[in-house]
Structure 1
Amino acid sequence: MSYDTIIKSGRWFDGTGAPSAIRHLGLRGDRVVAVSAQPLDETGCDNVIDATGKWVTPGMVDIHTHYDVEVLKAPALTESVRHGITTIMLGSCSLSTVHVQPTDAGDLFGRVEAIPRQHVIEAVTGQNWGSAREYVAALEELPLGPNIAAMLGHSDIRTALLGLDRATRKKVRPTAAEQSAMEAALHEALDAGFVGMSAQQLLFDKLDGDVCRSRTLPSTYARAKERRRLNAILRQRDRILQAGPDITSPRSIAAMTFSSAGLFRRKLKTTLLSAADLKANPFLVYIMGPLARLVNALGGDFRWQHLPVPFEVYADGIDLVIFEEFGSGAAALHLADQVQRNALLQDESYRRRFRKEYDAKFGMRVWHRDFFDAEIVDCPDDSVIGKTFGQVGVSRGGLHPVDAFLDLVVEHGTKLRWRTTISNHRPEFLDKLSANPGVQLGFSDAGAHLRNMAFYNFGLRFLRRVHRAEQAGRPFLTLEHAVHRMTGELADWYGIDAGRLREGDRADLVIIDPAHLDESLDTYAEQVVPEYDNLSRMVNRNDAAVSAVFIGGEFVFGDGVSAPVLGTRRTGRFLRAGGR
C-alpha cells in the first residue's frame, strides 16, 4: 500500500478516549488509511514525518466562534488553524449572516462582537445567497481552511423578516405570516445541514449603527410563544439550541435550562452560555454542575459551554463589552462621537451615577467591578503603567477608582490600554469544570473582540494543564479523556463528522510537541488584519508547540508557517449535521 503521507512513531490519540499508543499513521487522499503498531512501508511516500516524542491527535473542535464575517474575507481562518483547530462552529449568540442584509449585519455584529461595523457591511455586501442552502453552497466555493459547521441565528431571521426596527421593539409581535416564515427558515437551515439555532436573552449585548443603536439584540425581544414554536422544531428534529440567558433574571436562566428536560415531551438538546468561575459571583460555580445533572436526570440533554482557561480581557479606554452591563457604562458606549463621550465622562452627575453602580454590592453581574484589579499595560503617561486604576487614585490624593479611570480615559482615550481577569482564575475550579460531563469545552469567541482577547490556543493550554497535573501526580483527567473532550465528544454531541482519528476517518489532525507546551502559551502578541484595514488584533504565538496541522489529508500549517495551500485552495468543508 502506498501513502501520500506517513506520520511515524508518534503517541496516537484516536479521539474516543481509548488508551493512546505509539503508532504509525498512513494518509492517502483525505483519509487515514492505516494505523499500525509496526512501521509502514515508506516506498514511494515523499512526505514522511517523524513524530517521535510528540502527540498525534484529531484536530480540535471550536464550538463557539464569531468567524461569520472573517470567513467571508479570509476563509483560511489561520489564527485558529495554527493552534490545531480544524473544525469551527459559526452562528453563535443568535448572530449569523444567512438572511440579514449588509447594514443590519453591521448593526448586529459591530458593537456586540467588536468587529468594525464597516467591514461587516463590506463582507456581506454583494453576497448572492438568499437561503441557508445557498449560503452553504457559497461557503463551499471559498478556499476554506478548517471545516465549518453552523447554527442559524435567531436574531438573523428575526431581523430579516420583521426589519431591524420592528424586531427590536418591545410591543411588536411577529404576525402569523412572519412567525411561519421564521419557522420555515429554520426548517430550511436544518435541511441544509445546520446543527441547530442560537438564541440570546442577555441584555447587555447592544446594537451598533444609528437607527436602533443601543437596543438589545432582536432575539431578546422574542416572547415565550415565539421561542417555544422555534424550539419545537429543534425538538422534533433532534437538533440543538445554543442560548444565552439573561443572567439578571432567575426566570430566564431556569426557563432556558429546563427547556432541555424530556419529561412528557421530546428533549431539547441545549447548550447554554456559560459555565465560569466568576470573580463577581464566586458561589455560582458550585451550582452549575448539579443543575446540569438535575436537568439531564429529568430526561434532558443539557450542557454548559466553558472556556477552560482564565478569562483575561484587555481594553482600549472604555471600549469593552463589560461596561454594557450597567447603565452608566452603556451610556458611554452609546456615544460614538469622542467629543460627546468625553463631555459625558467629565460630567459630575454622570460620575456620581457611575460610582454608585460601581459600588453596588448586590445583583448578578459578569464584571467584578474592582478597579484595584485592573492593571494599566500601556499609556502615553509612563508613570501609570504597571499600576491599577485604584493605585492611581490613591497616588492622586485618594481619588475614587472610578474617577481615576475616567480621568485617564478622557486624557488618553484608546491609547490607554489595561487588562483584568473576569473569571476562571482559581485553578481548582478550572479543573472541576473541565472534568464535568455537564460542561463542554470551547467558547473561544474567535473572530470577535479583536482588541480585547485571544483564546485561539485554548485547547493547547488545556492540554498543558492536564499534562502538568498528570506529571505532578494529581491528575484530574487522563490525557486521552482530555483529547476526547475537545474532539470526539463535541463532534458526537453536535452530530458532525469530525473529532476522530482512526482508519477510515477523515485526516484532520494535529501533531503537538509536549516539550513546548510551556509559558509561551500564556503570552499575547498583536497581528494586523489586512481585511480590516490592518486593524491590530490580539493573537497567540506558540509556534514550537504545533509541529503540523493536517486538514483533509493536506498539510496546512506547522512550526509557525502556513503551507501555500492554506487560503488558496479549499481543504476544509461544510459539515452537515448527521453527516458522520
Structure 2
Amino acid sequence: MTFDAIIRNGRWFDGTGAPSAIRDLGLRDGRVVAVSQEPLDASGCPEVVDATGKWVIPGLVDIHTHYDVEVLEGPGLAESVRHGVTTLLLGSCSLSTIHVGGVDAGDLFGRVEAIPRQHVISAIDKHRTWSSAEEYVAALEALPLGPNLAAFIGHSDMRTATMGLDRATRKEVRPSRREQARMERMLNEALDAGFVGMSAQQLLFDKLDGDLCRSRTLPSTYAKWREMRGLRSILRRRRRALQAGPDASHPHTIVTQALGSIGLGGRPALRTSLLSAADIKAIPFVIHLMRPLARVVNRLGADFRWQHLPVPFEVYADGIDLVIFEEFGSGAAALHLQEKLARDELMRDPEYRKRFRKDYESKYGPRVWHRDFFDAEIVACPDATVIGKSFGQVGVERGGKHPVDAFLDLVLEHGTAIRWRTTISNHRPEVLRKLAADSGIQIGFSDAGAHLRNMAFYNFGLRLLKHVRDAERAGRPFMCVEHVVHRLTGELADWYRIDVGHLRVGDRADLVVIDPERLDATLEEYRECPVEQYGGLSRMVNRNDAAVPAVFIAGRRVVADGAPTPLLGHERTGSFLRAEQAATVPPVIAPSVEAEAEAAS
C-alpha cells in the first residue's frame, strides 16, 4: 500500500474519547487508510511527518465564528487553521450573508462584530452571485477553501431581506403572514442545503452600524414569540440546531429558552446552544445558576447546551471603541457618534460625564463589564508615563479625579492611540476547570473573524489543552487529554451532525500534530498582524507556531511548523459540510501556471 502522507510514531487520539496510543497513520486520497501499531512502509510516500513525542488529534472544530465576510476574499482562513482548527461554523449571532446585500450586511456586521463596514459592503457587492442558500453553498465551494465550513442561517439576515432593515428594526412592526411564510421558506431551504440550523439573537447591546438605522438593535431582537414559534418548530421537526443569544437584561428569557428545548408529547427536543456560559467578573454567582439549569432541563428531555470560551475573556480597546460600552446609555451614546469631533464634544460635556459616572457606579443588575477602571491596564499610549497603570490609578495621581474623568480625559487627549485591556470573565481557573468538564457545556465561542482590534480567541483549543496538560503534570487532573480532545472535536461534530471530528480508518484526513512541550506561556501572548482583506487593518492574534508542527486538511499539509504552506488558500482543501450527510473530499486539481506563481509570491 502506498500513501500520500504518513504521520509517524505519534500519540494518536481518535476523537471519541477512547484511550490514545502510539501509532503510524497512513493517508491517501483525503482519507485515513491505515492506523498501525507497526511502522508503515514509506516507499514512494512524498510526505512523512515524524510525530515522535507529539500528539496526533482530529482537526479542531470551532462552532462560533464570524468569518462570513473574510472567507470571500481570504478563503484560507489561516489565522484559525494555523492553530489546528480544520472545521468552523459561519452564521453566528443571527448574522449571515445569504439573503442581504452589501449595505445591509455592512450595517448588520460593522458595529456589533467590529468588522469595518466599508469592507463588508465591498466584499459582499463584489462576490455575491447567490440568491439562495444552495447557491451560497456553491459559491463557497467554488473558492479555494482552506478549512471545512458549516453554517447557520441568521435570523437577522432573513428578517432584513424579508421586511427591509427599517421595518425589521421597529418595535411596533410585526411580519405579515406572507413575510412570516417567506422566512420559514428561507429556513427550510437552508436546511435543505445542509445548514446545521439557525442563529438568533435577543441581546440588546448588539447595535447596527450605518446611517439608516444606526444604534437600533439587531433585527432578530424585535421578533416576538409567534414569529419565533414558527421558525423553532421547523428546527425541532428537522432536528437541527438553534444557536441563540438571550436577552440578559431579562433573565427569565434564559429559562424560557432552556425550557423550550424540552421535547414533550412525542415531539423531539429542540437542539439549543445558548450564549454563553461565562464566569462573569461583574456577577460571579450567575455561573453557578447556569450549570444546574442545563442539567435539569436535559433530564426533563431537552437537548440544551451552553457555549463556553474555555480561557480568560481578556478584551483590548483603542480609546472608547469597545462593545462593552454598548450595555449602558452613556457608553452607547458615545459609540453612536461616528465623527470624532462630535464624540469629543460629547465627552467634554459636564452633563454627559455626570451620566457616565452614574452608569459606571451602577453595579446592580445584569451586565457584562465589571465597570471598574482600576481593573483596566493601559498598554500603549503616546504618554509613556501612564503605560502599565490603570485609569483609576491615573485619576488618583492627577489630583484624585474620578476614574471616569481620568478615562475620558485620556481618550480626549490621545483618541484611539491609547490602548488598554481588562478581563471581563473566566478569570478563576478553578471555575474554568469545572466548566470545561461539564457535559451541559460546549467548548467554543471563539468569535474568530470578528473584533479585530479587541477580542477573538483563535487558539482557544490549544490553551485548553495546555490547561489540562498542566493540571495533569501538577498532580491535580480534572480531565484526561483523551476527553478534552473529544470535547474539542468529535463531541461537537456529532452534536451538529457534521461528518468530521474523528480520526479513524475511513475518516477524513483532517488532523493536527501538536507538540505538548510547546504548550507554554507563548499561547497567551498577543501580536499585531495586518489583515489583507481589510486594507491592512491590524488584527490582534496569537502566534505560537512551535506548538503546531503540522495541520492536514483532506490529507494535504496546509501548515508546516506553525506557518501556512503555499497550498492554504490557493487550492481547495476544505469542503462545505452538509448536516447529516457524509463529508466528501475535494478533488486534487493541479494548479495553473498563474496559481503556482501567485502561491510562490
TM-score category by the smaller chain? over 0.9
Could you report, residue by residue, the CA deviation over 1:519-567 in whole angstroms, capped at 9, with x for unpaired residues?
A: 0000000100111110000011000000000000000012132211111
Q: Secondary structure of 1:470's partner?
A: helix
Q: Secondary structure of 2:359's partner?
A: helix
Name the residue aligned to 1:158. Answer: 159
CA drift of 1:49 comes to 1.1
Could you report, residue by residue, the CA deviation over 1:317-350 in whole angstroms, capped at 9, with x for unpaired residues?
A: 0000000000000000000000000000110101
CA distance in 2, matches of 1:573, 1:12: 24
CA distance in 2, matches of 1:323, 1:63: 26
CA drift of 1:285 comes to 1.1
Name the residue aligned to 1:69. Answer: 69
Name the residue aligned to 1:119. Answer: 119
CA distance in 2, matches of 1:459, 1:121: 32
Q: Secondary structure of 2:40's partner?
A: coil
CA distance in 2, matches of 1:71, 1:46: 30
Letter in 2 for 1:308: P
Conserved in 2, the CA contact under 8 Å of 1:98 and 1:152?
yes
CA distance in 1, matches of 2:330, 2:454: 20
Letter in 1 for 2:235: L
- Equivalent of 2:280, from 256, 278, 281? 278
Name the residue aligned to 1:252. Answer: 253
Q: How does 1:235-250 map to 2 (within 5 A)?
A: 235-250=236-251
Name the residue aligned to 2:296. Answer: 294
Could you report, residue by residue, the CA deviation over 1:268-289 in whole angstroms, capped at 9, with x for unpaired residues?
A: 0000000000001100111111
- Equivalent of 1:528, from 523, 527, 530? 530
Name the residue aligned to 1:554. Answer: 556
Could you report, residue by residue, the CA deviation over 1:444-478 in whole angstroms, capped at 9, with x for unpaired residues?
A: 00000000024111100000000111111111100
CA drift of 1:43 comes to 1.3
Name the residue aligned to 2:336. Answer: 334
Q: Secondary structure of 1:114's partner?
A: coil
Q: Secondary structure of 1:125's partner?
A: helix
CA distance in 1, matches of 2:176, 2:460: 43
Q: Secondary structure of 2:281's partner?
A: coil
Conserved in 1, the CA contact under 8 Å of 2:547 and 2:562?
no
CA distance in 2, matches of 1:326, 1:258: 29
Q: Does 1:359 align with 2:364?
A: no
Conserved in 2, the CA contact under 8 Å of 1:66 and 1:446?
yes
CA distance in 2, matches of 1:299, 1:537: 43
Letter in 2 for 1:26: G
CA drift of 1:250 comes to 1.9
CA distance in 2, matches of 1:180, 1:108: 23
CA drift of 1:579 comes to 1.4
Name the residue aligned to 1:52. Answer: 52
CA distance in 2, matches of 1:229, 1:504: 39
Could you report, residue by residue, the CA deviation over 1:363-419 in whole angstroms, capped at 9, with x for unpaired residues?
A: 000000000000000011111100000000000111000000000011111001000
- Equivalent of 1:438, from 426, 437, 440? 440
Q: Does 1:323 align with 2:314?
A: no
Letter in 2 for 1:335: L
Conserved in 1, the CA contact under 8 Å of 2:65 and 2:88?
yes
CA distance in 1, matches of 2:89, 2:563: 24
Q: How does 1:45-444 map to 2 (within 5 A)?
A: 45-126=45-126, 127-264=128-265, 265-444=267-446
CA distance in 1, matches of 2:512, 2:560: 9
- Percent identity over the alignment is 71
CA distance in 2, matches of 1:57, 1:357: 47
Conserved in 1, the CA contact under 8 Å of 2:363 and 2:371?
no
Could you report, residue by residue, the CA deviation over 1:235-268 in whole angstroms, capped at 9, with x for unpaired residues?
A: 0000000000010102321221211011234310
CA distance in 1, matches of 2:534, 2:576: 25
Q: Does 1:573 align with 2:578?
A: no
CA drift of 1:134 comes to 0.2
Conserved in 2, the CA contact under 8 Å of 1:454 and 1:540?
no
CA distance in 2, matches of 1:524, 1:361: 30
CA distance in 2, matches of 1:46, 1:506: 19
Letter in 1 for 2:428: R
Letter in 2 for 1:237: R
CA distance in 2, matches of 1:339, 1:247: 33
Letter in 1 for 2:115: I
CA distance in 1, matches of 2:557, 2:141: 19
Worse overlay, 288-297 or 196-205: 288-297
Conserved in 1, the CA contact under 8 Å of 2:449 and 2:456?
no
CA distance in 2, matches of 1:125, 1:454: 26
Conserved in 1, the CA contact under 8 Å of 2:450 and 2:456?
no
Conserved in 2, the CA contact under 8 Å of 1:14 and 1:57?
yes
CA distance in 2, matches of 1:558, 1:402: 47
CA distance in 1, matches of 2:34, 2:260: 44
Could you report, residue by residue, the CA deviation over 1:105-158 in whole angstroms, capped at 9, with x for unpaired residues?
A: 000000000000000001110411000000000000000000000000000000
CA distance in 2, matches of 1:74, 1:167: 31
CA drift of 1:46 comes to 2.0
CA distance in 1, matches of 2:28, 2:315: 42
CA distance in 1, matches of 2:270, 2:99: 24
CA distance in 2, matches of 1:35, 1:354: 61
Conserved in 1, the CA contact under 8 Å of 2:133 and 2:190?
yes
Displaced runs of 4 or more, over 2 A: 263-266
CA distance in 1, matches of 2:54, 2:506: 22
Letter in 1 for 2:580: G
Name the residue aligned to 2:586. Answer: none
Worse overlay, 260-269 or 2-11: 260-269
CA drift of 1:41 comes to 1.1
Worse overlay, 244-253 or 459-468: 244-253
Letter in 1 for 2:135: E
Could you report, residue by residue, the CA deviation over 1:285-308 in whole angstroms, capped at 9, with x for unpaired residues?
A: 111111001110111000000000
Conserved in 2, the CA contact under 8 Å of 1:496 and 1:576?
yes
Conserved in 2, the CA contact under 8 Å of 1:59 and 1:86?
yes
Name the residue aligned to 2:16. Answer: 16
Q: Secondary structure of 2:280's partner?
A: coil
Q: Secondary structure of 2:549's partner?
A: strand
CA distance in 2, matches of 1:521, 1:122: 34
Letter in 1 for 2:434: K
Unaligned runs of 5+ in 1: none
Letter in 2 for 1:478: C
CA distance in 1, matches of 2:53, 2:510: 20
Worse overlay, 484-493 or 125-134: 125-134
Conserved in 2, the CA contact under 8 Å of 1:29 and 1:553?
yes
Conserved in 2, the CA contact under 8 Å of 1:454 and 1:524?
no
Letter in 1 for 2:245: G
Conserved in 2, the CA contact under 8 Å of 1:267 and 1:300?
yes
CA distance in 1, matches of 2:20, 2:39: 17
Letter in 2 for 1:555: R
Worse overlay, 413-422 or 40-49: 40-49
Q: Does 1:30 align with 2:56?
A: no
Conserved in 2, the CA contact under 8 Å of 1:446 and 1:456?
yes
CA distance in 2, matches of 1:454, 1:64: 11
